[in-house]
Structure 1
Amino acid sequence: MSQRLASSVRFAPSPNVTTVRRAFPLAQTLPWLAGPVWLVAALVTWRAPDADDFPATNDLAVLFAALGVVLLVAAAGRRLSARAPWAIALGVGFGLWEVAQAKLLWLPRPFFGTPQDLLDVFQSDWRKLGDSLLHSLALLAIGYLGGATLGIAVGAGLGRSPRFRYWVRPIMRLIGPLPPVALLPLAFVLIPSSRVAGDALMALAAGFPVAVLTWSGIAAVDPAYYDVARTMGAKQRFLLFHVALPAATPQIFVGLFMGLGASFSMLVVAEMLGVKSGLGFYLQWAQGWAAYPNMYAALLVMSLMCSALMTVLFKLRDHLLNWQKDGLKW
């Protein structure tokens, strides 16, 4: 009897916890708060007087209101549960930014702009921003893809050929650890085109981690795999492309992630110092003219570009390495 009583007490749900959950269904309430938060931000933006003559105030209020309506529709369709806290936080953040800067001017201008200033940049200068984005993507694509391809080839040679490793390893240990930024003046002297010089330095920035991790991945392959393939008549080319590289693919992707981050850094430096186009050049131009809203807009576009490219690379990794998609997150 006592054991039954203890068991029933042990596994009975707590009435206090149940009551709290019923009284405060937070997970169900938060999605419905996101839309009103943005609508309140829109009302404050529209009705509260500006501290100065800022552009695009009405447009910003319309944008906030549209976001509020979209969030309400998403809440009604139950598509906002996981993103509701972030939607609320962003709405509160933009609302506070609007009040603190556009309505009260608490922060010194022009170093700190208003949401209206940022929206005005995208409305008035979107062509130059879009052109800079395309130039940056083109420069990054050539440098990063060239460096990644060269890095995989060098890493495969280091992992499979002792003679290749004898000659190339000292060169890699001498040049590879150098920051590519340190070679920027030399590259602009040796290579007449600043664009080609930027591509070469981005290829170096991406190629070194890819080569090292490709080499490490191939070196970690179990020799028994090669022995089994040889007994079935496999040649060196088959061992490389069907045994070594597939087994080293997880390590190769780690090198690709590291190389992409290094290429982003080198891209901005190259565009600021030599290449007369791209988001880095736009940043330098905006800083020179004290156009700080333009600078913040370029930073936002650059952040979205880098995040999108990293996401694409992770999607590719998850597709090729489906059995390891939970091992590395972005």
Structure 2
Amino acid sequence: MIPHSRPTIDSEDIEAVTDVIKSGQIAQGLKVQEFEGVVSSYIGVKGAVAVSSGTAALHLSLLCLGVKHGDEVIIPSYTCPALLNAVYYVGAIPRLADIDARSYNIDPNFVEDYLRRKRAKAIIIVHTFGEPVDIDAFLELSKRYSIPVIEDCAQALGATFRGRRIGGFGLISILSFYATKLITTGEGGMLLSDTDDFLEKARDLREYDKKKVFQLRYNYKMTDMASALGLSQFKKLPSFLKRREEIAMTYNVALGKSYEKEGRIYYRYILGSPHAEQLIGLMEKDGISCRRPVFKPLHHYTGEKGFPQTEMAWERSISIPIYPSLTDREVQKITDSLVRLCPEGFPNGSGR
């Protein structure tokens, strides 16, 4: 079975983690600081705070911005529940937004329509599947309505917008280093910012021990073991991104698709079909694991309606394997199966 996702771990990664274990310093320490410095320099921001997950980074981001009980936070419906959890963690109210049909990203027009009528405390924009959001539009909304923007770059490390790496546009940005992300620390995340106050507050809140004054804090630390893996993985990020792009271009040619945009990276490769669920099952029988790219949109959890583009994307979209350790033979098997099972091809647009 060709898995839908698979981490790319080599002997250098294993050696890096082994060295930390042998050193005896396995919890948060100098490796964490080194990892924070490397990633923040790459993104082009002042600093970073490594934490235990992307969800933890989102939670701390909202706390840094002063989001509290009863505040409203705008998030896309077509995303994983991590955002919903983070909003609920601080007692805020999630206000879901529909997506742009072509990019799968949060629709700025939908958001502006909401902001004309009501106020919100923050917007979380997700660079979905590696394609940058229309950042100019959201920075304009941020200025016009005095609302801060948090960039969720969990699926887009290395992507750029107008020549700058994403993650440096919002007041705060976050990354995830889960096992199937662009680089991995097993579990892990990171908050990044140019604002000293946010960085200081996030560092204070991520650990609760040895504090002069008690307040609610968290056990959100990243370990040196995880950071050692992250540092080793980060060295290979350019080759990881290049291999993902090579596979995507192979898919484009084989499937007759155009799936390119300046600045994007290929975290996921998405196909659209009116028979998505059936195709996933047929690919499974061929020994290829495909998935819905989003298990369930958030409005299905909250019981809301009024998100037609999200609904269409969810019904029609299929995510096929794309990751650096995918072999040429596996890529060929995937394309052969898709061409045989869907001789009519795949449309561009929502569920490309």
Name which one, 1 or 2, has greater alpha-carbon Rg. 1
Structure ranking higher in helix proportion? 1
- Normalising TM by the smaller chain, what interval? under 0.3
Q: Which has the higher contact order (CA 8 A, sep 6+)?
A: 2
TM-score with structure 2 length normalisation? 0.25
Structure ranking higher in strand proportion? 2
TM-score with structure 1 length normalisation? 0.26
